[in-house]
Amino acid sequence: MEGDRSVELCGVRLRGPVLNGSGTFDAIAARRAFGDALIERFPFDGFVSKTITREPRQGNPPPRLWETPAGLINSIGLPNKGLEGFLQSDLPEIARILTAASQGSAGDAAIPLIVSVMGFSRDELAELVAAAGARDEVAMIELNISCPNVETGLVMGADPVETASAVERVRTETDKPLIVKLTPNAAAPAAVAQAAEGAGADAVSLVNTLKGMALHPQTGEPWLGAGTGGVSGPAVRAIALEQVASVASTVEIPVIGMGGISTGRHAADFLAAGASAVAVGTESFRDPAAARRIAAELEGITLPGSEPAPASTIV
């Protein structure tokens, strides 16, 4: 049994502060590749699902990836089985993996499941929140609002008023904590965060990917099948850190910080900037165990203003 590194987020106990970013780790596919060793050495302290939509989605046509300097552009397009398929098959399987991986965690801390959902209208989002929130396996719900509202044509998360309407609409559908995933492509992310808080969000997470594109080296046409995509990785870390600091100084609710975190030092920076927890995304592509390494490195770092670590852990 390891030492107690647990944290509390929106009243939910996590075995530590390191989550995954939504859409950057598929526990079911990883179980196929790594077997039970994945459960014995599960990388994350809380697990965020891929984003679920009401209808099944195939995702965007390939190519879906382009390597950038210290990063990656992706245009995956939210492939998923749809709400019904997710609730029937994926959710129980992910929950089994997390329950098994939680064995041996200190105290009552476990690896809770956070389900990410996206709707193309407020009512669709409400239906997803109600259905996911009704399941015992689900500890929290993350709202991916980086998509256009088909009723208004506006990207929900890019606009404080749109965000507030969406959160207000879904707030009554569940008692479980609601996390609003902020897009860095908004003019003023802190204003969007404030709107989410005012409408009843329990936490915000940021950053989602930054919009970007690449051109085919021979034809000059857009490389990605969908034309544009989202940039992630160390290339976006400085931008993400500024946005996390800005949002954390504006809202009272907890902030989950992410964007290019690849070492414990980076994680400590995001916590020092005001985040209550952090998420690892693209770095997991390079090393499936990256989040465990980052969590271990983080334990050896004393945050400014916190109690000094026991002498034995000071290097």
Active-site residues: which are they? Answer: 147
d(CA 104, CA 100): 9
Alpha helices, DSSP H, located in 35-155: 37-40, 82-85, 91-102, 122-133
Query: Which residues contact residue 14 at a Cβ distance below 8 angstroms, ignoring those fewer than 6 apart?
Result: 6, 7, 8, 45, 46, 109, 110, 111, 112, 277
Angle at CA 230, nearest 5°, toward 227 and 234?
140
The total number of residues written for the chain in this structure = 315
Report in angstroms how near the CB of residue 278 gets to other proteins at its nearest: 18
Report in angstroms how near the CB of residue 59 gets to other proteins at its nearest: 6
d(CA 124, CA 301): 43
Amino acid at the residue 91: L
**Which of 300, 205, 308 has its CA nearest to residue 247?**
205
- Is residue 15 within 8 Å of 102, Cβ to Cβ? yes
Report in angstroms how near the CB of residue 73 gets to other proteins at its nearest: 10
Report in angstroms how near the CB of residue 255 gets to other proteins at its nearest: 24
- Is residue 206 within 8 Å of 257, Cβ to Cβ? yes
Output 117 or 167, the one with its CB closest to other proteins.
117
Output 165 or 282, the one with its CB closest to other proteins.
282
Q: Which residues bind other proteins (CB under 8 A)?
A: 23-26, 28-30, 32-35, 37-38, 41, 43, 58-59, 61-72, 74, 76, 79, 217, 223, 225, 233-234, 282, 284-290, 292
Output 68 or 185, the one with its CB closest to other proteins.
68
Distances (CA, A) of 94 to 31, 51, 90, 100, 175: 10, 14, 6, 10, 22
Output 66 or 270, the one with its CB closest to other proteins.
66
**Residues facing 257 on adjacent strands:** 206, 278
Peptide bond preceding 61 in cis form (omega within 30 of 0): no
Report in angstroms how near the CB of residue 297 gets to other proteins at its nearest: 14
Output 122 or 292, the one with its CB closest to other proteins.
292
Q: What is the CA radius of gyration of the chain?
A: 19
Report in angstroms how near the CB of residue 314 gets to other proteins at its nearest: 26
d(CA 40, CA 45): 13
Output 77 or 274, the one with its CB closest to other proteins.
77
Alpha helices, DSSP H, located in 199-236: none
